[in-house]
Amino acid sequence: MKLIGTRNIANLRFSNVTVKDEDGNDMDAGDLIKELPNIETFQYVLKNDEKTPSEKLAALPPFSKLCEFKLHGIEEDFDFNVFHEFVKKNPTVKYFLSFFCSFEFIENIAKNFRPTADVTICKENF
């Protein structure tokens, strides 16, 4: 894991890429941020049909230096309740979540999701 082996990376931005671990397994956003205890800014654009690793993110400990978390290309199967566990552990972070979804899905989010932090949600065009 040469890219993040030093654990000193403060800012990371990946867009539509595949990152592999030492064994050749694909790493997702949850796997990457787990290896970055000193991360301040994390931005990740999901590949087509890549699932958001809400469970992995929710299971992580708090990130003391994290200021900004951006996730793009999220699909409608995103579990806000599970992801909110990550948000609650990192309440001072500014979140930006960008979705490939219907307008109805965004409206439902606006009505039902009450985050405990600064969360911006937007819809991307198909």
Report the phi/psi class of residue 43: left, alpha or beta, with left for phi > 0 and alpha for psi in -120 to 50: beta
* Cα-to-chain-centroid distance, residue 91: 14
Residue 113 and residue 95: Cα distance in Å, rounded? 14
Counted residue by residue, the chain has a size of: 126
- Contact status, residue 119 vs residue 106, Cβ threshold 8 Å: no
The pLDDT, as a whole number, for residue 102 is 86
- Contact status, residue 31 vs residue 4, Cβ threshold 8 Å: no
The pLDDT, as a whole number, for residue 90 is 95
The pLDDT, as a whole number, for residue 1 is 44
pLDDT in tens, the chain (126 residues): 456 565 788 999 999 889 888 899 999 999 999 989 999 999 999 998 888 999 999 999 999 999 999 999 999 888 888 999 999 999 999 999 999 888 888 888 877 777 777 888 888 875
- Show Cβ contacts of residue 91 under 8 Å, excluding neighbours closer than 6 positions: 116, 117
* Cα-to-chain-centroid distance, residue 37: 15
pTM of the complete model: 0.88
